[in-house]
Structure 1
């Protein structure tokens, strides 16, 4: 029994060795025939050339597409930077990225087709996956769509001073998903684009400086208004470069309990009204002191009622 088993094992080993030997000989023979087969090398060369041409054509299409997009948005005016140039630069970048993704994705599918890989199944799977992601990330899709329309419609741009929801500050970054705003105190406000409601953009049009000046009732209003108008007509241009035109004294705005309110209006560059207003108040205070125009201050009058039994000189008023 033992001798028979050893003989069987020996026979099996010989069979395996013979099989391996035949496989090696056939592989070597096939490799030898393949290496010296002109048809194989011709087909391999054609295959490699096709893949190379796909990559080259994709690269050319991307570069030509970028050039076409930039020429389409070329700014022909020689005036200073327009408000729409910022939006055009952003849209150019978005279109270039979209073109690059589409062209290279198509090139990858073409290369996979050259390797005899069925791309229909990949496309179908990608479509189903995209649909599932779309249903599961509706807020993300909403943010991206809102961000695209914010950029496309030029609602606001980087560097604009805006008020969005509860935040007011300077826009530092606009993305397809979020917008970042630097607040006055240094805080950074980040809001998803889908949650942006009403937007107030202070940087689109010129700003208006409204300055209310309190004068005492003892002041000659006409004379004071004339002096202040002369002062406003001669504002130094280097100090008030942001002021457009000449500020105007429009008259008495209201009568308060202890003062007459004189209103001054000036037009400034966008968002420059705050700084111009501080400088104008400082210079007006100095000018009014020099010209004897009195500012109101609280006054108190005390009456002392003469009581019964007091002498004739007992009453006193201040």
Structure 2
């Protein structure tokens, strides 16, 4: 008897047209809200990228590093806000009391805030990192033991990718000491080894001739390269040092190019680069007998 009543109730509910219409309307609202949120996020992110891609003219100084960082940050903030509004709208479509939910979320957020001091510290530190432009996306930095290119700066975490592929993720509150290699120009340092048999004055003149043509060949060099002179005297060679001011983080590539070209330049002019040698001394039989007799006496 109970089974028949349950089946009857199920059939009554299933045949209720008003219920199905209401569910269909709610279903359409959920789909519409979701689609609108996704499209709106994509459109707003595109507008942000377009806005920051345009060179801003005015009395304020804007640079590409700061624009790229702010672009990514604003894109993330827009996504969070739009999706939050979408979730609230979906809950409202299911006739859930949003006012009570928001009030409860506020109280819960206040309670969580007291317990999540590290999270609050990360957000505040992230804000000041971006506001003070300590480093930006694309900069080459050293944070603690990690060294690499900044991939992303958020309000809570910062991501740094090493040149070998590792991705370091730092909570912003844990970032204490930062070395930024991308703000100022770099210095390429090249040491060239010369043999003691070479004429040092002539070698210096040849190197100066080579350095005078560097800035024309390498656009990364900002100022004319300098020959500092003799850097060191070792047991086998004379070490001469060259420096060149380059664009930020271009000193490694420029130093490699200078070493290669300078080596070819000196080879063509007969300047010898020292390398390890072995001197073999072979005594004649007469000298060996004289030495043996002297030892016996």
The alpha carbon displacement at 1:241 in A equals 1.2
Report Cα offsets for 1:192-212 as digits up to 9, x if no partner.
Answer: 111112111111011111111
Report Cα offsets for 1:46-88 as digits up to 9, x if no partner.
Answer: xxxxxxxxxxxxxxxxx9xx9xxx9xxx943499946554566
**2:176 pairs with 1:221:** no
Q: Which moved more, 1:193-202 or 1:267-276?
A: 193-202
**2:115 pairs with 1:136:** yes
The residue that corresponds to 1:276 in the other structure is 254
SS in 1 for 2:128: helix
Larger radius of gyration: 1
| Equivalent residues in 2 for 1:233-312, closer than 5 Å | 233-235=212-214, 237=216, 239-300=217-278, 310-311=289-290
The answer for unaligned runs of 5 or more in structure 1 is 1-62
Q: Distance in 2 between the 1:287 and 1:118 partners? A: 77
| Equivalent residues in 2 for 1:171-182, closer than 5 Å | 171-182=150-161
State whether residues 87 and 152 of structure 1, in contact with CA within 8 Å, keep that contact through their aligned partners in structure 2. no
SS in 2 for 1:203: coil
State whether residues 159 and 170 of structure 1, in contact with CA within 8 Å, keep that contact through their aligned partners in structure 2. yes
The alpha carbon displacement at 1:277 in A equals 0.8
- Given the alignment, which residue of 57, 67, 70 partners 1:76? 57
Q: Distance in 1 between the 2:78 and 2:150 partners? A: 24
Q: Distance in 2 between the 1:302 and 1:166 partners? A: 49
State whether residues 91 and 151 of structure 1, in contact with CA within 8 Å, keep that contact through their aligned partners in structure 2. no
Question: Residues 309 and 235 of structure 1: is their aligned pair in 2 closer, same or farther, counting only changes over 3 Å?
Answer: closer
Q: Distance in 1 between the 2:196 and 2:140 partners? A: 39
SS in 2 for 1:141: helix
State whether residues 87 and 154 of structure 1, in contact with CA within 8 Å, keep that contact through their aligned partners in structure 2. no
SS in 2 for 1:258: coil
State whether residues 172 and 181 of structure 1, in contact with CA within 8 Å, keep that contact through their aligned partners in structure 2. yes
Q: Distance in 2 between the 1:278 and 1:124 partners? A: 63
Q: Distance in 2 between the 1:154 and 1:299 partners? A: 54
The alpha carbon displacement at 1:100 in A equals 8.6
Report Cα offsets for 1:231-286 as digits up to 9, x if no partner.
Answer: 1111273x411111211101111111211110101000000001111111110111
Q: Which has the higher contact order (CA 8 A, sep 6+)?
A: 2
TM-score normalised to structure 2 length: 0.65
The residue that corresponds to 1:29 in the other structure is none
SS in 1 for 2:182: coil
SS in 2 for 1:169: strand
Q: Distance in 2 between the 1:251 and 1:189 partners? A: 41
